[in-house]
Structure formats: structure tokens, C-alpha cells
Amino acid sequence: MKYKIVSVLFALLIAGGFFLHIFLPDQSVSYEERRSLVQFPSVSAPSVLDGRWMTQFDKYVADQFPGREKLRTLKNGTELFVFGKQDVSGIYEKDGGLYANAAPSETAVAGFAKKLASLGAEMPENMSVYYAVIPDKSTLIDAGIHPVYKTDDVYDAISEAFCSSGKKAQPLHFEQLLSSEDFYKTDIHWRQERLWPVVAYLAEMMGFSGTADVEVVQRQFSRQSYAPFYGAYYGQYALPVKPDTLDYLTGEMLDAVKVTDKTTGEVLSVYSTDRLGGIDSYDVFLNGAEACIELENDKSLSDKELILFRDSYGSALAPLLSPFYKKITMIDLRYMPSSMIGDFVTYENQDVLFLYSTMLANQSGLLK
């Protein structure tokens, strides 16, 4: 009798959801999952006959089912608190922050290191080349039973690859400069307003400025805030967690910075504030993912230039480097094949910084 009642209730839930779905408008995006939702598929005889329409329709119903986010919360809560799982889809909570289990791939890291070294080998000897690996925030806490991905193996692989190529490159280490508080609680990224120690360290090691100058520049920036910010882990976890506040730093020193998309010629902004409240508010920094952008500053404190090979973490850092460099060219090899670099960059005597997260190093197949 008990199972019959459960079956009836489940059937009523599905039926109720179906009827609500008929009358409620479709949603275009899921801000919790940070993706576009499947819309009702257009009907055509070929798509119906070969099954493509039905496949898309199933995805449409799954995405547009009323109360879908509440059901995800119920499912994840059951897994954690009823069945005793230690994480949800690889995401776990500790002290109000969300973290991801790490699964290092030696093959991926080796491929990542070889990619960087092959690019470095194409640069003239007079160019100063540096590389830095941004640690995953899970390495900065006591993760307990959860696996973490430390940066040591990545640095070793990069060093070995550069030695094999014959190109000199200097490692830069951030681990002692960062804590878990320097990262968003619900996201993978570091917080821009907490990056001044990183800027000062880079200035010292790369020689583009003195520590005193960095402190003077820092005092000329002011903080702008946006809330609530729901990071990438928030939607994956789907359980109640306090959202973040996203801060970005503005000042007169950035007013002189011209940002250009080198692939299209479009003039961009240092901060794309129209992205705040969208699928990913972190895209406020330099318009999010771009293959090749250039920051030019006629009022910079030096005539030096920087080529920054980066992933999304570089978007928050580059504005803080722009007062010190006349030109910063940012290249994201996830969106630009390395064979096209020469169309936008001529190697001369620029500084070069390879700045990547351990997450990207572990997914080197994304690099073109």
C-alpha cells in the first residue's frame, strides 16, 4: 500500500508539472547552472522521421520542467544528508565556501607544459619569459578526505619542458601570497580587490616597477561592488549557500586605457558592466572570454610591453597591470590557434607571462 501511495504521488507530481509547463512561459537561461536552456524545437518532416526532433524535445522538457531547480536542490540534499555522500557532482562545502574535488591528469599536464615550451621556443633570446600557475583554492584549506591538486607537479612539468626546448623561462610562485579568502566562495576565480600582493610580487620579479610604486597606484583605485554574485559552483551545488559580492576596481589610471578586440577591431571597456547580473557576472572583467585583446595605456609608468598568455583568471589581473605597461596583449589559446598568433603579435623585446590555473593545466586539450 505504501509503494502505491508513493507511485500515485509521483504520478501526480509529473502530471502537475506537465500541466504547469503548458501554461507557464519558457525560460531562456538558467542562472543557477549558468547556461542557456533548450527551447521548443522547430518541427520539420526530416527531423521528426530521423528522431532528431524527439531528442531535442526530450531535452526541452527536461530544461523547462516547472520547479526544476527545486527538484535539483531536493536531489542533491538527499544525496548529502540522507545517503551521506561527501560531495555533489564533485563539489563540497566547507566553512561556507564551495570547493571542487581535483582529479589530476599527468597526460594533460604534460601536454600543457609542452604547449607552453613550444611557444616559448619561438621567441627571441632577448625576451624575458615567465610562467606562473594559479593554485586551486582547495589547496589553501584543510580539504580533509577530498583530493586536491597542488601546483608542484605542474611547475615540474613546465620546467622540464622548457629545459628540453632550450628556452629559458623563470617560474613565479603565488602560493605564499594567497589564501582561500582571496577567492570567491561560490566560484573558482580569485577576487580582483585581493590581488595587489600578486601585482607587487610580479613587479619585483619581472622588474616593471618597484613595490613603492605599486602602493601608490593601489591608493588611486576605488572599489565598486555588485551583489549577489552566484559563482560557477553555486549552480552545481544547488543547495543554500550565501552568495558572494563581486568587487571591481576603478580609477583615473584606467580611464586612459584603450581596450581593443584584435580579432574584430571592436573597442571594448575595461569593465563590461552590462554583464553584471547575466549568466556569468565575472565576465565584467574585460568582456569575458576573448581570443586576443590589447590594452594600450599612453599614460603608463613605463614604455614596457607585456604579452600575457592566460585563461579567465588573467581578466581580473590585467587591469591592475595596465598602469605599468604601455601595451598588454592578452592571448587566450582556448579560442585562438597558436598558428594565428603571428597575425596579431610580433615578438620583439616584450615581457612574456604564461599565467594559467591548475584547472586549465589539467584540461590542456582545450588549448589550440
pLDDT for 4 equals 52
Cell 519558457 found at: 26
CA separation for the pair 21, 189 (Å, rounded): 36
Domain-by-domain residue ranges, the chain?
2-66, 97-366
And the C-alpha cell for 258?
584603450
* Chain-centre distance for alpha carbon 119: 22
Across 251-291, the runs of DSSP E, i.e. the strands, are 257-261, 267-268
Q: Concatenated DSSP letters for 79-131?
A: HHHTS--S-BTTEEEETTEEEE-----HHHHHHHHHHHHHHHHTS-TTS-EEE
pLDDT for 242 equals 92
CA separation for the pair 56, 62 (Å, rounded): 10
And the C-alpha cell for 49?
522521421
pLDDT for 102 equals 80
Beta carbons within 8 Å of 9's beta carbon, 6+ residues apart: none
305: β partners: 327
CA separation for the pair 7, 9 (Å, rounded): 5
pLDDT for 2 equals 46
pLDDT in tens, the chain (368 residues): 544 554 544 445 455 545 545 555 666 666 566 666 767 777 777 777 777 767 776 677 665 656 566 667 667 667 676 676 788 888 888 999 999 888 778 888 889 999 999 998 888 888 899 999 999 999 898 877 787 878 888 999 999 998 888 888 999 999 999 999 999 999 999 999 999 999 999 999 999 887 778 999 999 999 999 999 999 998 888 788 899 999 999 998 899 899 999 999 999 999 999 999 888 899 999 998 899 999 999 999 899 999 999 999 999 999 999 999 999 999 999 999 989 999 999 999 899 999 999 988 888 888 88
Q: Mapping DSSP to helix (H, G, I), strand (E, B) and coil, where does residue 149 land? A: coil
Cβ atoms of 140 and 180 closer than 8 Å: yes
